[in-house]
Chains A and B, each alone.
Chain A
Amino acid sequence: MATSVAHTSAPAAHHYTTLGLDSRKVAIWAFIGSECMLFVSLISTYLIYKGRSVVGPFPHEAWTDPTTGHVLKPILNIPVTSASTFVLLMSSLFMVLALAAVQNKEKPKHTRGERILGNSKLWLWMTAIAGATFLGFQAFEFTSFVHEGLTIRTNLFGSTFFTLTGFHGAHVTAGVLWLLTLLAIDYRRGLGSRDSLLVDIAALYWHFVDVIWIVIFTLVYLIK
């Protein structure tokens, strides 16, 4: 296993490529292009169905159940989600630092600050933990919504909201697993500058998932 891990890192330098780039880098951009259309479809459906739910709870308005007279508050908790958004945004910063640490692995480090910045395990852990924290917030949000009477079956808002944010959450989950895989490689044999590409494509994916969340947060939570 240890030897096979070493193989993956070997850049395909002996293969001629037209752009001089590794093909994996080209492919990840094609993949991100495709993912854009995936989220465009999800977000468009959310927007088309916005305000069309027949029964509550609603995202931004209170709703009185005509049968029971029970009043349901607006369901979105913007302060809590702002906190989770901040955590996710920070994870992108950690990701940048992780990539820089891997790229500069072989450079000599003199100060304590340089050693901290050059610690790829630290920044990969920070990114993964920030991603997992975001997922924790999402799990909390989902369960509290269910307690307040909003499930994926309740109304159009419930169906579109849980599907859209759930798809995003699934992407974050995949990203966290990806980061943990990189960490496993780092612990096993150490990531060096020759592995930059492995971290680079993970980072591109991670930033993409982050950018998508900014769009979702704005359109779903902030704009009433």
Chain B
Amino acid sequence: MASTAYPAPAHAPSYSGEQSGLWSWLSTVDHKRIGILYLYTALFFFMFGGVEAIIIRAQLGAPNQHLVSAEFYNQLFTMHGTTMIFLAIMPLSAAFFNFLIPLQIGARDVAFPRLNAFSYWVYLFGGIFITVPIFFAVAPNGGWFGYAPLTIKAYSQGINIDFWVIGLQILGISSLAAAFNFLTTIINLRAPGMTLMRMPMFTWMAFIVQVLLVLAFPVITIALVFLLFDRFFGTNFYNTVSAGADPLLWQHLFWIFGHPEVYILVLPAFGLVSEVLPTYSKKPLFGYPVMVYSGILIAVLGFGVWAHHMFAVGMGPIADTFFGLTTMLIAIPTGVKIFNWIATMAQGAIRYTTAMLFGIGLVALFTIGGISGIMHASPPADLQQTDTYFIVAHFHYVLFGGSIMGIFAGIYHYFPKITGRLLDEKLGKIHFWLTFIAMNLTFFPMHFSGMLGMPRRIYTYDSGQGWELFNAMSTAGAMIFPIAMLIFIYNFFVSRKRGDIAGSNPWGAGTLEWTIPSPPPEYNFARIPTVTSRYPLWEGKEVDYADARFNAQEGKTPADFGIVMPYNTIKPLFVALGLIIMFCGLISSRALIGVGAALMIFSLYSWLLSPLEPEHH
């Protein structure tokens, strides 16, 4: 606990061997650069999904509006959900997984650097694939959950759903490849002494999320394969009319994936906040082991609650009771986390930085979302609330109030580590307060419009039902978000060039990533540290400080320390390109499938048969 913030040096470190230019980004296998690629791409998609939301709110601002057609409205809400979940929040988390996991566990890179590049390129191409159709008004229109049989060919004849089915399949490949990579990295590349119970909480939550990804994504893969086969080859998986298929098959498969997905979205933010709150309270995280166990418990229980999304389908009292109870149970480990964060802050020397404000914002807003969640854990209550704006309010408190607030906390906290410069705090605080006000003004009134019976997914509504005021408030709130985002983007790009120099540990944090220069050298750690405690910079032994001093050296090259770095390679990009061409062939011409497969297999063999790094002598 002795250490304080390091004095900032006069200039950011520079590295003679530093790479630049387009080619270096296309061929990079450095986890930090891939993390930055994820960050930029995901922020772009976050804003794209935000624009969709703003059009939705403009349409709903007053009764009987016809800003967009009913059909285009369906595409807007489908793509808003799909974009925010698969193209914004998950990849924003992946940006942090990439950048932070190796730094937090004392590794030079992830276990499979080229697979890591492959994951990113598949994500980028998949994101473009699923996003482009909205410019031609043929975007997916069946909701982010794509309920079959509604989405089978008989009821959704256009090409819209094809983009969704194939797009999600592509994004699933990216997520799974990344999950195997991070899982292996956390299991196998921890520095000596970095035992599981010394891992920083972000890495712990990332670990749990990878397990969830590995187990949940195959289920949606199969659900999507069935839908794909039904649509393209005339199979009967969701054909309830003539073949006797079960109308609930899709819902079960989807939510067995879909509920763990909720934790895939929110646990990384929990991890980030568990780094932010201790740092700005100058106290170790309260109840570290319990935080780990409750994270694991959330993940385990998360696989046993899926049917609470389906209370309205009439599963019968036994199933309803079971899933109601498991859902209420999951509130316990989640509540434990909330209390531990509060206890971490209690009697701490709190500094209200922007990151801290976003962190506290998460604790407050996620709690509101959690409480409304417990309300519809009860089947009778859920029957009143399901498919209304009350549910929309609930999950935006969880996903915006939880995930996005946590991710912004992480961005403000780690921006100096990523770029070597600090974001402007004054602009940051304006960004926070505008976001906080916009968030509550937009989503809190939805509790009321929902309770008054306003259904989700309607493109307009009649006056005189008591919904006007609440909808006007939500729309007013939504219009504040773009102002907040513009301030953030301005701050981001200006600070990146002209912000104050950060130094290796501007916040006086305690974990390994703060022992190395900002931005970190390409090899991360000049020597792999030996770890003796959870906060090596706060409560470490002499060996920790010796490693920290050694690793704080700036301006060195890998050769100075005899470190072998992986070659840059474009091959993962080509494998991803082949894959995407193959999938494009499914909806355009069959010949493309062959072309894509050939490119993919050729690039894959070329990748597998070429060495990762120069021969070590």
Contact = CB atoms under 8 A, between A and B. Distances in A.
B253 interface: yes
A34 B111 contact: no
* Highest count of chain B CB atoms <10 Å: which of A31, A53, A181: A31
A37 B229 contact: no
A8 B180 contact: no
Contacts of A41: 218-219, 221-223, 253
Given A23-B112, A45-B237, A30 B229 contact: no
Interface in A111-134: none
Interface stretch (B136-144, B293-301, B399-407, B604-612): B604-612
A167 B216 CA distance: 18
Contact of A18 (B176, B188, B249): B188
B236 A159 contact: yes
B609 A4 contact: yes
Contacts of A17: 188-189
A120 B237 CA distance: 44
A8 B229 contact: no
B226 A45 contact: yes
Nearest to B245: A156
The majority secondary structure among interface residues of chain A is helix
Contacts of A18: 187-190, 194
Nearest to B235: A159
B215 interface: yes
Contacts of A1: 609
B609 A5 contact: yes
Interface in A60-117: none
Contacts of A194: none
Interface string B232-263: 01111100001111100100010000000000
Interface in A1-38: 1, 4-5, 7-8, 10, 14, 16-19, 21, 23, 26-27, 30-31, 33-35, 37-38
A156 B610 contact: no
Q: How large is the interface on B (under 10, 10 to 19, 20 to 34, 35 or more residues)?
A: 35 or more
Contacts of A155: 236, 243
A168 to B, nearest CB: 13
B132 to A, nearest CB: 29
B214 interface: yes
Given A26-B111, A52-B244, A54-B243, A33 B235 contact: no
A153 B233 CA distance: 8
Contacts of B245: 49, 156
B225 interface: yes
Contacts of A31: 180
Contacts of B442: none
B602 to A, nearest CB: 13
B215 A34 contact: yes
A150 B400 CA distance: 50
B592 interface: no
B609 A152 contact: no
Contacts of B215: 33-34, 37
Interface in A198-221: none
B205 to A, nearest CB: 18
Contacts of B237: 45, 156, 159-160, 163
* Highest count of chain A CB atoms <10 Å: which of B184, B191, B226: B184
A2 B176 CA distance: 32
A87 B194 CA distance: 47
Contact of B236 (A4, A33, A42, A156): A156
A30 B219 contact: no
A4 B611 contact: yes
B473 interface: no
Given A17-B189, A18-B187, A27-B181, A38 B222 contact: yes
A223 interface: no
Interface in B159-195: 176, 179-181, 183-185, 187-192, 194
A159 B214 contact: no
B112 A7 contact: no
Contact of A163 (B184, B216, B226): B226
A17 B226 CA distance: 40
A9 to B, nearest CB: 10
A34 B609 contact: no
A155 B219 CA distance: 23
B246 A23 contact: no
Nearest to B219: A41
A152 B235 contact: yes
Contacts of A5: 609
A48 B226 CA distance: 14
Contacts of A35: 218
Nearest to B213: A34
A89 B571 CA distance: 37
Contacts of B183: 26-27, 30
Contacts of A19: 187-188
B451 interface: no
A145 B309 CA distance: 39
A153 B111 CA distance: 43
A193 to B, nearest CB: 19
Contacts of A49: 245-246
A43 to B, nearest CB: 10
Nearest to A35: B218
A54 B187 CA distance: 49
Contacts of A48: 246, 249
A8 B217 CA distance: 30
Contacts of B176: 34
A127 B243 CA distance: 40
Interface string B583-617: 00000000000000000000001001111000110
A152 B237 CA distance: 10
A21 B187 CA distance: 10
Contacts of B192: 16
Given A8-B611, A53-B244, A155-B243, 18 more contacts: A1-B609, A10-B611, A23-B184, A23-B189, A26-B184, A27-B112, A27-B180, A30-B183, A31-B180, A34-B179, A41-B253, A42-B222, A53-B243, A153-B235, A156-B245, A158-B235, A159-B237, A159-B243
11 contacts: A23-B184, A30-B214, A34-B176, A38-B218, A41-B219, A41-B222, A48-B249, A52-B246, A152-B229, A153-B233, A155-B236
Interface of A: 1, 4-5, 7-8, 10, 14, 16-19, 21, 23, 26-27, 30-31, 33-35, 37-38, 41-42, 45, 48-49, 52-54, 152-153, 155-156, 158-160, 163, 181
